Amino acid sequence: MNTEKIWFVTGASSGLGLALVGMLLDQGHKVAATSHDVDALLDAVGAKLDGRFLPLAVDLADERSVRRAVDSVIAGFGRIDVVVNHAGYGLAGALETLSDAELRGNFDINVFSVLNVVRAVMPRLRAQRAGHVFNISSILGFDGGCAGWGAYSATKFAVSGLSEALAAEMAPHGVRVSLVYPGALRADAGQAQAGHPGAGHPGAGAAPSALGDPAKAARALIQAAEAQYAPLHLFLGRDAFDQARGKIQSVQQELARWREMSVSIGIADERRLVDGRLADERRLAA
């Protein structure tokens, strides 16, 4: 049985993306991977151009560049089975201190590059009536309560929202979507990457042993791609799991505490309240 798949991975020159590409090639899959620097990508992956690996120099913020890249993958491999939108970077700083250029640049790569890839690949996946898209968000795209990371968190919340909508849109066409929330992942120098990128973030100060292993995260994505029922929400790392559970518990507590106010603003609820008061007044008058 042929289990080979064609993978398209963005942001493959470091971290989870690099680990994933190497593991896929070792397992016999064909991989197209994007980077600004193809030579650096080839050196990092250490793969030979033997017809199974296609490195692509792509400006992910440029829709035409992305479409050309997707066309190259189809021309070289014939189809695309799995897409991993991994490209992105962290932007630290209090919201009021960040410039317009910094904010828009972060959204260009973290959000609009994902949309550019989605627009380019979805017609092909829909025509195949098969495919799987992994959009890499962050635990900060689920729980935004981390001071100094509001801009990055906003981009990742955007990725989370568009991914949930994409999953609903593509399910009738046989295309699966998984939204991935990594926690802090170890990088080459032991710095935190992916879910908690950059110095200054709580994850960046953690001991290397407390950070997630990019190779294990890559293996989890491959397992999810092979699963009969793929997860829509996939949290990677003990820190991500615990932070998500804490956020969910906090929201549940607030829902319970403020339930009466939440449900009281509906017209029907208001009428029931008025009718109840009138009934009470009539009973008292009697």
For the stretch 253-286, pLDDT in tens is 999 999 999 988 887 655 665 666 667 677 667 6
- Rounded Cα–Cα distance for residues 236 and 221 (Å): 10
- Which member of 14, 152, 160, 163 is catalytic? 152
Lowest mean pLDDT, pick from 96-105, 229-238, 277-286: 277-286
Q: What are phi and psi of 159, to 5 degrees?
A: -60, -40
- Rounded Cα–Cα distance for residues 233 and 228 (Å): 15
**What is the distance in angstroms between the CA of the first residue and the CA of the last residue of the chain?**
82
- pLDDT above 80: residue 31: yes
- pLDDT above 60: residue 221: yes
Q: What is the pLDDT of residues 102-132, one digit of tens each?
A: 999 999 999 999 999 999 999 999 999 999 9
- Which member of 14, 30, 138, 156 is catalytic? 156
Tell me the mean pLDDT in the region 48-72. 92
Based on the residue annotation, tell me whether 152 is a catalytic residue of this protein.
yes
**In which band, very low, low, confident or very high, does the pLDDT at 203 lie, cut at 50, 70 and 90?**
low
CA triple 249-254-260, angle to 5 deg: 140
What does the pLDDT read at residue 267? 77
Q: What are phi and psi of 51, to 5 degrees?
A: 90, -5
Based on the residue annotation, tell me whether 48 is a catalytic residue of this protein.
no
Q: What percent of the chain has pLDDT over 90?
A: 74
Count CB atoms within 10 A of the CB of residue 272.
12
Count of all residues that appear for the chain in the document = 286
Lowest mean pLDDT, pick from 42-51, 53-62, 174-183, 212-221: 42-51
Query: Could you tell me the two tokens for 68?
Result: 């050309």
- Rounded Cα–Cα distance for residues 237 and 234 (Å): 10
- Which member of 14, 35, 113, 137 is catalytic? 137
Bridge partner residues of 9 (DSSP): 33, 84
Q: What percent of the chain has pLDDT over 70?
A: 84
Q: What are phi and psi of 271, to 5 degrees?
A: -65, -40
Based on the residue annotation, tell me whether 99 is a catalytic residue of this protein.
no
